[in-house]
Each structure stands twice: as structure tokens, then as C-alpha cells.
Amino acid sequence: MNQPLTSSRGATFRPSQVWLWCALLLVAALLPRCWGLADYFTIDEGYHWIQRVRLFSEALADQKWSATYLTGHPGVTTTWLGSLGRALAAAWGVPDDRAAGATTAYLAMLRLPLAVLNGLVVVPGYLLLRRLLAEPVALLAAFLWALAPFIVGFDRLLHVDGLTTSFASLSILLLLVALLPGAARTGRGRWLALIGSGCCAGLAVLSKSSGLVLLPWAGLAMAAFVLAERRGWLAWVRDVAAMYLAWLAAAALTFWACWPAMWVAPWASFMGVIDEAINNGGQPHASGNFFLGVPVPDPGGLFYIAVVLWRSDPITLLGLLGFAGVLVWRLLAWRRRAPAPAWWLRDRWVLGALCGAILLFGLALSIAAKKFDRYSLPAWPALEVLAAYGLVAIWRWLAGLLGPRVAALRGRAAAWAAGALAVLSVALGDLSHQPYYMSYYNPALGGGAVAQHVLLIGWGEGMEHIGAWLQQRPDFERGAVLSWIPPTLAPFLPRGFPLYDIRTTTIHQPDPMPNYAVLYERAAMREETPEPEAYVRQTPPLYTLEMFGIPYATIHQLPRPYETPLAATFDGGALALRGYTLKRDGATLSVWPSWDVRRDQPGGVMLFLHVLNERGERVGQIDAAVDEGMFPTWQRGQQFGITLPIGLPADLPAGEYRVVMGLYRESGRLAVDAGALPEAVDGPNAIQLATFTVGQ
């Protein structure tokens, strides 16, 4: 039998306490979102959003309204706020140096308005939750929302998912306030909340097309809440239609007013959003995906369940388990026809609506072939509310076990628990991972060490460390750098430095010759370019970037090119000669050997090249350090190859000549492992590199 709706929320905080909690929430939300924004470039920021902000700003300045359509996402709120950040950057002397590329300082300015807005949203979210649920639940949910590492990580970025989450969450909460009975359900308060919900829904869709999920959810929520009041069918249809049309009108008007492209080409702009949702979201990502240890085009229906498990924190996961326990308990009680407690009668409609929003987002995302963990973000604040509800329910249960005296204190204890859990979340979740909030994976499930075998890992994190390591190498400027996702590395290399994507065409390019290659784990997991990757991996990594148990990237040095293979090893396999290139130009014989360091060892190895005539007489020679004296110690995987010009007599007689090579330290020549020439030719431990003929 249906129970009447009630808006009773139990004991509440005094106004001064509410404002104190709002202030604490504001600090808790803004600090992790705005602290240290000049960190690293994510893939989409480097490839897309910095450029889109520039184009959007220029279109506004030139009043070219149609040019504000840049993508079907559509990302309009991102480009609006990014343009504000661009203006702040110009005012504070941080230029947009388009010729040289963006800097981290400039990116931080673009990010700042988004980070601030996403942080501010938590406070009205808390005030709305107070209208819907008991004080301890509302407060705890708000702190979980403010501090969840997964939410914080994307709220800081110049991107669309954080804003979609903020606006969608406000839309959901405002609509629930409008639908519940009480002051907000009568007169102007109800309609203000309803119109506000529609406006936020319009902003959510302007942020990302996934906000369209709010349209069916809002209609279903209105129908369910009005139906629960047991009105007649005509009254039900009339009220639902009136509310839904008003809500849709507010959403549509906001969508139109905030996107200049809609002013001049409304149909084309809106259909671009629909096309993005259907054709882009409906197709697997061009680079594929990764799930449960294997590269796959579409991770399937279990993907977002895994995302919730590993992207949550232990507190949230415990709360969700507690909420599941509440549902099971109420189901069993319903089957026994046991009376429901007052707090359940009060909260079940709000909880049901939040569950409906989560399930609807989950269904829409699971149907689409293109899946990433961040796509689930709009459902996360609602998940945090359910988790908070579960945590408070667990406390109620524990307090009940401890007796009536302790049970009487449960409300106060839960409120204090909210603050304690918030501090715990900051300490264990945010502070331990700052600024790499997206590297946080649930430690209760093994953290990043396990998550890397389940979900696709990495979005540009750590590239600043890669750039710093490369720049301190003595031979850094001896060639180009190849890297997956190069726009995320470019800001951390000197301006104009040759940096190319890892492709079949770049690994063998002659000028500039590639020197180092960066393999980023995300691309390796998806096997984006397996053949070039295999070529790079033939040399062991010189540096592995590991953070939080996740190996994000490796740096390899590429073999020096050669024309003639010659498999010779020295000093018990410590150093190998892959091959060489030999060219004679007049009286100069040039040799380019390709060396492979196969064991960690001291540097300081010298080489000699002797040119011998048919009688064994030396007619030319050169001695040089194998590494040009750049490295005091050598690391397994290093590759050397310098130009060795040998001067020959201008009147060199006709005949056949041999080029002999050997290696030595101060203590003597290094042993040749196999194929050494007889000592009578040129002393011990020498090999014949090549022969050439003059005048024949």
C-alpha cells in the first residue's frame, strides 16, 4: 500500500551551524580542485580543448556566432569558462603563445574558472540535500562529493565531464526539491526550483551530450512523484505535462541563450549534438579500449560496475554496501508486511529517484560502444548520497546494538562522523595523490597495482617527469624524441624541440634521427601501434615512471642506424656492436658504428679504428670515446653511435685495405668474445670491421 509522502527531516542544525558547515565545505571543495593546477596536460586538453578555447574566444570577439560550434560534445560551458580563464591569463601577463605551444601556467589559468565553479557547486548541493534528507546524511554526502578523488580529478581539468557532473547534479537535486511536498512545492518556491532544474539541465547538455539523459529521467521522476499523491488520472496528466513542459522550456531556453551558434544555426547546431551522441558515442574509440587484462573495442556491460568498484574510495564503497543492506532489509520487511520506519517513509522517494538517475545514466552509457571511466561521472554525486545514507544506516544499526543510551546519541555522532570521514578522505585520498587525483584507485581492492589489470590507465599523468628526465640527459639534443600522445609531453621539452608520434614512418626517419622514445602505458594497453612498439622495446627501458603502483611510462633509447650488420660483442657481452655504416669521400673514410650497452658498467671505454694496407701497415687511424665522454657510467639499454672520420693519405696506393676495430680502457683492451683477429694483424682483441678497395 502506498504511504503518503512527508518532508519531515528530523532535527536540523542552527543557521550559524549551517553556515559554518558551508564554509568548511567550500574550503574542502575548492582546495583540492584549485591547488596546483599547473601540473600536467591531459590528452584531451593537449589535443583539443586549449585550441577550442582559443577559437571560441576569437569567434566571440569577431562576433562570428556560427564559429562557436566547434564540436558536437558540445563543450560550450567549457569554452565559455576557458575563455574567461584566457582573459584572466592575458590580464595577469600569462600569454597564449600559440606559435610555441601552451605552458602549464597558461593551462592553469584556463582551468581555474572550471575548478572554482565545480567546487562552488558543492555548497548549494549541500543546501538542497538538507531539504531532501536528514542533516547527517546531507552533510556527509556533501563532504564525500567535495572530496571524492575521482570527482576532484576531473573537476580540475579544462574538460567537459566535471561541468556535466556539476550541472546534472544540481538539476537532479533542484527537481527533487520541487517535487517534494512542503514550502518548495507550493507557489513560487516550487516553480523556481523547477525552472532552476531545467536551466541546470540545459547547461549540462551544453557541457556534454550525455546530459540528455536528464530529459527522460525528469519526466519519469515527475510522473512518479505526482502519481504517489494519488490524484485522478486527468489531474496527474495535467500536472505532469505542465511541469515537464515548463522544465523543458527552461532547459531549451538556456541551451539556446548560452550558445551563440544556436542564434544563427539552431537546427544544425542541435543536430550536431545528437550526431555526436549517436555516431561518436555509439562507436568504439578509434584507438580501442582495455578491460580485464585485454585490449577490446567495447568493454561491455560489466565495465561501469568495475569503474564504481575501483574508482570509489573505501568509505564510499562501505556506504554503498550499507545502502544495499538497507534495500535488502526493507525488501525482507516488505515481504513480512512489517511496518516501515518513519525515516524510510520520508526518504524512499528521494532515494528511488537518485537510484533511477544512476541506473538511467548507467544504462545509456552501457549501451554505447564507446566507454571510459570518466563518462560515469554525472552519476557520482548521487552515488555519494547513497553511500552517505548507507553509512548513517550502518551507524544507526551499530548504535541500536549498543543500547538505547548510545542510540540516543546517534544523530550527533553521525554529524561528527561526517567531519571525521571528510578529514580521512582528504588525508588518504586527496593529499596522498595531489595533483594526481586521477591516479587514485580503491586501496581496498588493491589500488592502482590491481586496477591496471582491470581498467585503462593514464591520461597524461607524469609526462612532466618524463620531460625532466629527458632534458637532463647529456645526449638529449643529439636527435628527436618519439612519444605516444606527444602534445602531453611537448610542454615539458624546449620550445621547438623535434617531437613526433611513434609511428612506422617516424622510427626510421633519417632527419632528425630519433634518439629517445617514450612508451605511455595507456597506448601499450590498447596495442595502438604494435609494430613500432615492438621496435622500441627491443632495447630495455632506461627509465620507468611508476606512481602509486602503476608503471605509467618507459623511456627507451633507439638503436643507431647502420647499413651493414655485424654481431660482435666485447667484455663478456657487456657491449655489443650491432653493425656499422662506412663511406669514403676522397681522403676521408667515415665510420658510424651502432653500439648497444647490454650491462650496467662504468663508462670511459675508448675505441680505435686502424686502416691497414695489404702488408699490414697502418695508413690511417682514429681513437675516440665510444660515448664521446658524456656518461661516467653506462646503463643497460643505452645506444651509442658517433661519426668517426679517418684521414687517409691523399696518394693512397691502389690495393685492398682492411678496417680494424678494438675497445680499450686504461687497463688495456677489452676482450673480444668471438671472432678476434690473430694478434699478428693488429695486436690482441681486435676485429675486422670492413674492407675497401682503392683504384681497382
The string of DSSP letters for 626-691 reads TTTT--SEE-TT-EE---EEEE--TTPPSEEEEEEEEEEETTEEPPBSS-PPPHHHHSSS-EEEEE
- Positive/negative CA dihedral, 164, 165, 167, 171: positive
**What's the one-letter identity of residue 550?**
I
pLDDT exceeds 90 at position 331 = no
Provide the pLDDT for residue 5.
Answer: 35
Q: Which residues contact 354 (CB under 8 A, 6 or more apart)?
A: 172, 176, 382, 385, 386
d(CA 562, CA 576): 13
Containing 106, the helix (H) or strand (E) segment is helix 104-120
What residues does 481 pair with on adjacent strands?
A: 499, 516
Provide the pLDDT for residue 1.
Answer: 32
Whether 82 and 110 have beta carbons less than 8 Å apart is answered as yes
pLDDT exceeds 90 at position 37 = yes
The secondary structure of residue 435, as a DSSP letter, is T
Residue with the bigger pLDDT between 253 and 288: it is 253
Average pLDDT over residues 637-654: 93
- Positive/negative CA dihedral, 380, 382, 385, 389: negative
Residue with the bigger pLDDT between 8 and 90: it is 90
Provide the pLDDT for residue 504.
Answer: 86
d(CA 7, CA 11): 12
Average pLDDT over residues 218-242: 80
d(CA 325, CA 323): 5
228: closest CA among 4, 555, 32? Answer: 4
- Positive/negative CA dihedral, 364, 366, 372, 374: positive
Provide the pLDDT for residue 404.
Answer: 60
d(CA 192, CA 282): 36
Indicate the pairing of strand 601-602 with strand 633-634. Answer: antiparallel
pLDDT exceeds 60 at position 183 = no
Provide the pLDDT for residue 101.
Answer: 66
Provide the mean pLDDT of the chain.
90
Provide the pLDDT for residue 392.
Answer: 86
Task: Work out the number of other CB atoms within 10 angstroms of the CB of residue 197.
Answer: 28
Whether 446 and 313 have beta carbons less than 8 Å apart is answered as no
369 phi/psi in degrees, rounded to 5: -75, -30
Whether 595 and 641 have beta carbons less than 8 Å apart is answered as yes
Residue with the bigger pLDDT between 297 and 233: it is 297
Cα 651 to chain center, whole Å?
65
d(CA 642, CA 639): 10
What residues does 662 pair with on adjacent strands?
A: 608
Q: What angle do CA 255, 256, 258 make, to 5 degrees?
A: 70
Provide the pLDDT for residue 232.
Answer: 67
Q: What angle do CA 466, 160, 177 make, to 5 degrees?
A: 135
Whether 457 and 525 have beta carbons less than 8 Å apart is answered as yes
Q: Which three cell numbers stand for residue 243?
A: 511541469
* pLDDT band for position 205 (cuts 50, 70, 90): very high
d(CA 357, CA 169): 10
Provide the pLDDT for residue 8.
Answer: 40
Average pLDDT over residues 457-470: 96
Q: What is the largest CA-CA distance in the chain?
A: 115
DSSP strands (E only) in 175-316: 289-291, 294-296
Helix axes 161-179, 342-367, angle to 10 degrees: 140
SS3 of 290-336: the string is: EECCEEECCCCCCHHHHHHHHHCCHHHHHHHHHHHHHHHHHHHHHHC
Q: Which residues contact 312 (CB under 8 A, 6 or more apart)?
A: 148, 150, 320, 383, 387, 442
d(CA 258, CA 266): 12
d(CA 382, CA 308): 12
Q: Which three cell numbers stand for residue 277?
A: 551522441
Block residue for cell numbers 543557521: 15
Q: How far is CA 199 from CA 223, 256, 320, 344, 434, in A?
A: 20, 11, 30, 31, 33
* pLDDT band for position 6 (cuts 50, 70, 90): very low
Q: Which residues contact 169 (CB under 8 A, 6 or more apart)?
A: 121, 125, 145, 378, 381, 382
Average pLDDT over residues 71-78: 95
Whether 315 and 144 have beta carbons less than 8 Å apart is answered as yes
Dihedral, 86, 91, 93, 97 alpha carbons, nearest 10: 30
Provide the pLDDT for residue 7.
Answer: 38
601: closest CA among 638, 550, 564, 551? Answer: 638
Please report the domains of the chain, with CATH numbers, ordered by start residue: 15-439 (no CATH), 463-557 (no CATH), 564-694 (2.60.40.10)
d(CA 365, CA 359): 10
* pLDDT band for position 4 (cuts 50, 70, 90): very low
Whether 101 and 490 have beta carbons less than 8 Å apart is answered as yes
Cα 689 to chain center, whole Å?
50
d(CA 682, CA 661): 9
Average pLDDT over residues 524-542: 94
Task: Work out the number of other CB atoms within 10 angstroms of the CB of residue 316.
Answer: 26
Provide the pLDDT for residue 2.
Answer: 37
Average pLDDT over residues 440-444: 95
Residue 239's Cβ-count burial label (10 Å; 0-12, 13-18, 19+) is middle
pTM as predicted: 0.91
Q: What is the CA radius of gyration of the chain?
A: 33
239 phi/psi in degrees, rounded to 5: -65, -45
pLDDT exceeds 50 at position 90 = yes
* pLDDT band for position 417 (cuts 50, 70, 90): low
* DSSP assignment string, 401-441: HT-HHHHTTHHHHHHHHHHHHHHHHIIIIITTTTT-GGG--
SS3 of 523-582: the string is: HHHHCCCHHHHHHHCCCCCCEEEEECCEEEEEEEECCCCCCEEEEEEECCCCEEEEEEEE
14 phi/psi in degrees, rounded to 5: -70, 155
How much helix, strand and coil, in percent to the nearest 5, is found in the chain? 55, 15, 30
524 phi/psi in degrees, rounded to 5: -65, -40
Size (the chain), residues: 696
Which segment, 3-7, 189-193, 465-469, is predicted with the most confidence on average? 465-469
